[in-house]
Amino acid sequence: MSRLEGGVATRRRILVVTKTTAVGGAERLLMNALPYLDREAFDYAFAALDAGGPLAEACRAVELPFEPLPHRGVLDPRSARALRRRLIEQRIDLVHAHLPLVGTLARLAARGLATRVVYTEHNTPAGYRLGSRWLNAATWAWQQEVLAVSEEVRRRAPGASDQIAVVPNGLDFESLDREAAVRPAAYPLPARGALTVLVPASLAPRKGQDVLLAALARMAALPPLHVMLAGEGAFRDALVNQITRLGLGERVHLLGHRADVPALCA
Protein backbone atom coordinates (compact mmCIF):
# COMPACT_ATOMS: atom_id res chain seq x y z
CA MET A 1 0.00 0.00 0.00
CA SER A 2 3.07 2.25 0.05
CA ARG A 3 5.98 2.88 -2.27
CA LEU A 4 9.50 4.28 -1.91
CA GLU A 5 10.34 7.78 -3.08
CA GLY A 6 13.90 8.82 -2.37
CA GLY A 7 14.17 6.03 0.18
CA VAL A 8 11.03 7.21 2.01
CA ALA A 9 7.81 5.18 2.07
CA THR A 10 4.81 7.14 0.75
CA ARG A 11 1.14 6.29 0.35
CA ARG A 12 -0.01 5.16 -3.06
CA ARG A 13 -1.89 7.91 -4.87
CA ILE A 14 -5.41 7.36 -6.16
CA LEU A 15 -7.32 9.78 -8.38
CA VAL A 16 -11.09 9.23 -8.51
CA VAL A 17 -12.70 10.77 -11.61
CA THR A 18 -16.37 11.07 -12.52
CA LYS A 19 -18.33 13.06 -15.07
CA THR A 20 -20.13 15.58 -12.89
CA THR A 21 -20.34 16.79 -9.31
CA ALA A 22 -24.13 17.11 -9.54
CA VAL A 23 -26.08 14.49 -7.63
CA GLY A 24 -26.74 11.32 -9.63
CA GLY A 25 -26.43 7.69 -8.68
CA ALA A 26 -22.67 7.43 -9.23
CA GLU A 27 -22.01 10.74 -7.50
CA ARG A 28 -24.18 9.81 -4.52
CA LEU A 29 -22.24 6.54 -4.25
CA LEU A 30 -18.95 8.47 -4.12
CA MET A 31 -20.31 10.94 -1.57
CA ASN A 32 -21.50 8.11 0.66
CA ALA A 33 -18.08 6.46 0.43
CA LEU A 34 -16.05 9.50 1.53
CA PRO A 35 -16.16 8.75 5.30
CA TYR A 36 -14.95 5.18 4.68
CA LEU A 37 -11.89 5.84 2.52
CA ASP A 38 -8.69 4.44 4.03
CA ARG A 39 -6.76 7.70 4.08
CA GLU A 40 -4.00 6.27 6.24
CA ALA A 41 -3.08 3.76 3.54
CA PHE A 42 -3.87 5.77 0.39
CA ASP A 43 -3.56 9.36 -0.76
CA TYR A 44 -6.86 10.28 -2.46
CA ALA A 45 -7.80 13.09 -4.84
CA PHE A 46 -10.96 13.70 -6.88
CA ALA A 47 -11.72 15.27 -10.25
CA ALA A 48 -14.72 15.82 -12.54
CA LEU A 49 -15.72 17.80 -15.61
CA ASP A 50 -17.34 20.49 -13.46
CA ALA A 51 -16.74 21.95 -10.02
CA GLY A 52 -19.85 23.45 -8.47
CA GLY A 53 -21.94 20.49 -7.36
CA PRO A 54 -22.51 18.71 -4.05
CA LEU A 55 -19.80 16.10 -4.69
CA ALA A 56 -17.12 18.79 -5.00
CA GLU A 57 -18.43 20.47 -1.85
CA ALA A 58 -18.43 17.15 0.02
CA CYS A 59 -14.80 16.50 -0.96
CA ARG A 60 -13.70 19.91 0.22
CA ALA A 61 -15.67 19.53 3.46
CA VAL A 62 -13.54 16.51 4.42
CA GLU A 63 -10.35 18.14 3.09
CA LEU A 64 -9.93 15.85 0.09
CA PRO A 65 -8.30 17.52 -2.92
CA PHE A 66 -10.72 18.25 -5.75
CA GLU A 67 -9.84 19.88 -9.07
CA PRO A 68 -12.04 20.09 -12.19
CA LEU A 69 -10.83 19.08 -15.63
CA PRO A 70 -11.18 21.58 -18.51
CA HIS A 71 -14.22 20.65 -20.54
CA ARG A 72 -16.13 22.30 -23.40
CA GLY A 73 -17.86 19.28 -24.90
CA VAL A 74 -17.82 15.53 -25.44
CA LEU A 75 -14.22 14.30 -25.47
CA ASP A 76 -12.68 17.77 -25.36
CA PRO A 77 -8.98 17.03 -26.08
CA ARG A 78 -8.02 19.46 -23.32
CA SER A 79 -9.64 17.13 -20.79
CA ALA A 80 -7.51 14.12 -21.75
CA ARG A 81 -4.34 16.23 -21.94
CA ALA A 82 -4.98 17.82 -18.54
CA LEU A 83 -5.75 14.44 -16.98
CA ARG A 84 -2.61 12.87 -18.44
CA ARG A 85 -0.52 15.79 -17.19
CA ARG A 86 -1.99 15.34 -13.71
CA LEU A 87 -1.29 11.61 -13.72
CA ILE A 88 2.35 12.30 -14.55
CA GLU A 89 2.99 15.36 -12.39
CA GLN A 90 1.23 13.99 -9.31
CA ARG A 91 2.61 10.48 -9.86
CA ILE A 92 -0.83 8.90 -9.66
CA ASP A 93 -0.60 5.14 -9.11
CA LEU A 94 -4.23 4.36 -9.91
CA VAL A 95 -7.06 6.27 -11.54
CA HIS A 96 -10.58 5.07 -10.69
CA ALA A 97 -13.03 6.23 -13.37
CA HIS A 98 -16.82 6.20 -13.27
CA LEU A 99 -19.18 6.26 -16.29
CA PRO A 100 -18.24 5.76 -19.98
CA LEU A 101 -17.13 9.25 -21.01
CA VAL A 102 -14.73 9.58 -18.09
CA GLY A 103 -13.71 5.94 -18.46
CA THR A 104 -12.69 6.70 -22.03
CA LEU A 105 -10.78 9.82 -20.94
CA ALA A 106 -8.95 7.90 -18.20
CA ARG A 107 -7.94 5.09 -20.57
CA LEU A 108 -6.66 7.57 -23.15
CA ALA A 109 -4.82 9.66 -20.55
CA ALA A 110 -3.12 6.66 -18.91
CA ARG A 111 -2.16 4.98 -22.19
CA GLY A 112 1.53 4.04 -21.98
CA LEU A 113 1.92 5.21 -18.37
CA ALA A 114 2.53 3.09 -15.29
CA THR A 115 -0.79 4.36 -13.85
CA ARG A 116 -3.34 1.58 -13.54
CA VAL A 117 -6.94 2.20 -14.60
CA VAL A 118 -9.90 0.81 -12.66
CA TYR A 119 -13.36 1.44 -14.08
CA THR A 120 -16.75 1.11 -12.38
CA GLU A 121 -19.68 0.36 -14.69
CA HIS A 122 -22.93 1.73 -13.28
CA ASN A 123 -25.44 0.97 -16.04
CA THR A 124 -26.30 -1.43 -18.81
CA PRO A 125 -25.47 -0.19 -22.34
CA ALA A 126 -29.10 0.76 -22.97
CA GLY A 127 -28.72 3.50 -20.35
CA TYR A 128 -26.10 5.35 -22.41
CA ARG A 129 -26.13 7.28 -25.66
CA LEU A 130 -24.86 5.49 -28.74
CA GLY A 131 -21.63 7.51 -28.86
CA SER A 132 -20.85 6.78 -25.22
CA ARG A 133 -21.48 3.07 -25.75
CA TRP A 134 -19.16 3.00 -28.76
CA LEU A 135 -16.32 4.88 -27.02
CA ASN A 136 -16.66 2.72 -23.92
CA ALA A 137 -16.41 -0.49 -25.95
CA ALA A 138 -13.62 0.78 -28.23
CA THR A 139 -11.29 1.62 -25.31
CA TRP A 140 -12.46 -1.14 -22.96
CA ALA A 141 -9.27 -3.20 -23.27
CA TRP A 142 -7.08 -0.29 -22.12
CA GLN A 143 -7.80 -0.80 -18.41
CA GLN A 144 -6.63 -3.21 -15.76
CA GLU A 145 -9.72 -3.87 -13.62
CA VAL A 146 -13.48 -3.45 -13.96
CA LEU A 147 -16.15 -3.33 -11.28
CA ALA A 148 -19.91 -3.57 -11.86
CA VAL A 149 -22.63 -2.46 -9.46
CA SER A 150 -24.87 -5.48 -10.14
CA GLU A 151 -24.96 -8.87 -11.82
CA GLU A 152 -27.10 -7.49 -14.64
CA VAL A 153 -24.59 -4.69 -15.30
CA ARG A 154 -21.74 -7.23 -15.25
CA ARG A 155 -23.53 -9.54 -17.68
CA ARG A 156 -24.23 -6.79 -20.21
CA ALA A 157 -20.84 -5.04 -20.04
CA PRO A 158 -18.80 -4.73 -23.29
CA GLY A 159 -15.96 -6.96 -22.01
CA ALA A 160 -15.81 -10.55 -20.84
CA SER A 161 -18.14 -10.78 -17.85
CA ASP A 162 -15.98 -13.34 -16.06
CA GLN A 163 -13.27 -10.68 -15.71
CA ILE A 164 -15.56 -8.20 -13.95
CA ALA A 165 -16.05 -8.09 -10.18
CA VAL A 166 -19.48 -7.19 -8.80
CA VAL A 167 -19.47 -4.72 -5.91
CA PRO A 168 -23.05 -3.68 -5.08
CA ASN A 169 -23.64 -0.08 -4.02
CA GLY A 170 -23.44 0.25 -0.26
CA LEU A 171 -26.15 1.75 1.94
CA ASP A 172 -25.44 3.75 5.09
CA PHE A 173 -28.57 2.92 7.05
CA GLU A 174 -27.66 5.09 10.05
CA SER A 175 -27.25 8.11 7.80
CA LEU A 176 -30.53 7.35 6.01
CA ASP A 177 -32.33 7.06 9.35
CA ARG A 178 -30.95 10.43 10.47
CA GLU A 179 -31.98 12.09 7.20
CA ALA A 180 -35.44 10.50 7.32
CA ALA A 181 -36.03 11.81 10.85
CA VAL A 182 -35.65 15.43 9.74
CA ARG A 183 -38.78 17.37 8.82
CA PRO A 184 -38.74 17.81 5.02
CA ALA A 185 -38.76 21.22 3.42
CA ALA A 186 -42.08 22.47 2.02
CA TYR A 187 -43.70 20.47 -0.77
CA PRO A 188 -47.20 20.35 -2.35
CA LEU A 189 -49.72 18.48 -0.23
CA PRO A 190 -52.09 16.34 -2.34
CA ALA A 191 -55.78 16.35 -1.57
CA ARG A 192 -56.96 14.27 1.37
CA GLY A 193 -57.42 10.64 0.35
CA ALA A 194 -55.24 10.91 -2.73
CA LEU A 195 -52.53 8.37 -3.44
CA THR A 196 -49.05 9.84 -3.84
CA VAL A 197 -46.13 8.56 -5.90
CA LEU A 198 -42.68 10.04 -5.23
CA VAL A 199 -40.07 9.63 -7.98
CA PRO A 200 -36.58 10.72 -6.79
CA ALA A 201 -34.42 10.68 -9.92
CA SER A 202 -32.66 12.93 -12.38
CA LEU A 203 -35.01 14.13 -15.11
CA ALA A 204 -33.72 12.09 -18.03
CA PRO A 205 -35.35 9.88 -20.69
CA ARG A 206 -33.70 6.75 -19.27
CA LYS A 207 -35.54 7.28 -15.97
CA GLY A 208 -38.94 6.89 -17.64
CA GLN A 209 -40.87 9.74 -16.04
CA ASP A 210 -42.61 10.25 -19.40
CA VAL A 211 -43.90 6.66 -19.27
CA LEU A 212 -45.33 7.25 -15.81
CA LEU A 213 -47.06 10.46 -16.94
CA ALA A 214 -48.56 8.71 -19.98
CA ALA A 215 -49.94 6.00 -17.68
CA LEU A 216 -51.24 8.60 -15.24
CA ALA A 217 -53.24 10.27 -18.01
CA ARG A 218 -55.08 6.98 -18.61
CA MET A 219 -56.01 6.46 -14.95
CA ALA A 220 -58.52 9.29 -14.46
CA ALA A 221 -61.26 6.88 -13.37
CA LEU A 222 -59.21 5.53 -10.48
CA PRO A 223 -58.85 7.16 -7.03
CA PRO A 224 -56.97 10.51 -7.21
CA LEU A 225 -53.30 9.90 -7.85
CA HIS A 226 -50.62 12.55 -7.52
CA VAL A 227 -47.00 12.28 -8.70
CA MET A 228 -44.09 14.21 -7.22
CA LEU A 229 -40.93 14.30 -9.34
CA ALA A 230 -37.89 15.13 -7.18
CA GLY A 231 -34.91 15.96 -9.34
CA GLU A 232 -33.52 18.15 -12.10
CA GLY A 233 -32.16 17.46 -15.56
CA ALA A 234 -32.22 18.23 -19.25
CA PHE A 235 -35.55 16.36 -19.68
CA ARG A 236 -37.44 18.92 -17.57
CA ASP A 237 -38.81 21.04 -20.44
CA ALA A 238 -40.04 17.95 -22.29
CA LEU A 239 -41.82 16.75 -19.16
CA VAL A 240 -43.39 20.17 -18.57
CA ASN A 241 -44.72 20.12 -22.13
CA GLN A 242 -46.07 16.59 -21.63
CA ILE A 243 -47.78 17.58 -18.37
CA THR A 244 -49.46 20.52 -20.11
CA ARG A 245 -50.47 18.49 -23.16
CA LEU A 246 -52.02 15.74 -21.02
CA GLY A 247 -53.74 18.15 -18.64
CA LEU A 248 -51.91 16.84 -15.58
CA GLY A 249 -50.93 20.19 -14.08
CA GLU A 250 -52.93 19.66 -10.89
CA ARG A 251 -51.71 16.10 -10.35
CA VAL A 252 -47.99 16.25 -11.16
CA HIS A 253 -45.63 18.33 -9.03
CA LEU A 254 -42.06 19.14 -10.06
CA LEU A 255 -40.10 19.54 -6.83
CA GLY A 256 -36.72 20.34 -8.38
CA HIS A 257 -33.49 19.20 -6.74
CA ARG A 258 -34.13 17.93 -3.21
CA ALA A 259 -31.48 17.29 -0.60
CA ASP A 260 -34.07 15.71 1.74
CA VAL A 261 -35.33 12.72 -0.26
CA PRO A 262 -35.19 10.30 2.72
CA ALA A 263 -37.35 12.75 4.71
CA LEU A 264 -39.78 13.01 1.80
CA CYS A 265 -39.99 9.22 1.59
CA ALA A 266 -40.70 9.00 5.30
195 plus 143 within the same structural domain: no
| Count of domains observed in the chain | 2
151 plus 243 within the same structural domain: no
Q: What is the rounded average pLDDT of the residues 191-196? A: 82
Question: Domain limits at 261?
Answer: 174-265
Quote the crossing angle between the two packed helices 54-61 and 25-33, to the nearest 10°. Answer: 10
The percent of residues above 90 in pLDDT, for the chain, comes to 68
**pLDDT at site 77:** 86
> The pTM is what?
0.82
105 plus 209 within the same structural domain: no
Q: Over the stretch 31-90, which tens digit does the pLDDT of each residue have?
A: 989 999 999 999 999 999 998 889 999 999 999 999 999 988 767 889 999 999 999 999
Q: What is the rounded average pLDDT of the residues 10-20? A: 94
Q: Is the pLDDT of residue 5 over 70?
A: no
Least confident of 74-78, 104-108, 124-128, 251-255: 74-78
Least confident of 15-19, 38-42, 93-97, 155-159: 155-159
Q: Is the pLDDT of residue 249 over 90?
A: yes
233 plus 118 within the same structural domain: no
61 plus 131 within the same structural domain: yes
Q: What is the rounded average pLDDT of the residues 197-223? A: 88
Q: What is the rounded average pLDDT of the residues 120-133? A: 90
Q: What is the DSSP string of the chain?
A: -EEEETTEEEEEEEEEE-S-SS-SHHHHHHHHHGGG--TTTEEEEEE-S-SSSHHHHHHHHTT--B-PPP-SSTT-HHHHHHHHHHHHHTT-SEEEEESHHHHHHHHHHHTTSS-EEEEEE-S-GGGS-HHHHHHHHHTTTS-SEEEESSHHHHHHSSS-GGGEEE-PPP--HHHHHHHHTSPPPP---PPTT-EEEEEES-S-GGGTHHHHHHHHHT-TTSSPEEEEEE---TTHHHHHHHHHHTT-TTTEEEEES-S-HHHHH-
1 pLDDT tier (thresholds 50, 70, 90): low
Domain end point (choices 117, 139, 170): 170
23 plus 101 within the same structural domain: yes
134 plus 158 within the same structural domain: yes
**pLDDT at site 220:** 67
235 plus 113 within the same structural domain: no
Give the domain CATH number at 166: 3.40.50.2000
**pLDDT at site 161:** 81
145 plus 220 within the same structural domain: no
Average pLDDT, the chain: 91
Residue among 187, 229, 170, 179 nearest 204 (CA): 229
33 plus 82 within the same structural domain: yes
44 plus 143 within the same structural domain: yes
Q: Is the pLDDT of residue 6 over 70?
A: no
140 plus 184 within the same structural domain: no
2 pLDDT tier (thresholds 50, 70, 90): low
Domain end point (choices 134, 151, 170): 170
Radius of gyration from C-alpha coordinates of the chain: 21
Domain end point (choices 170, 190, 211): 170
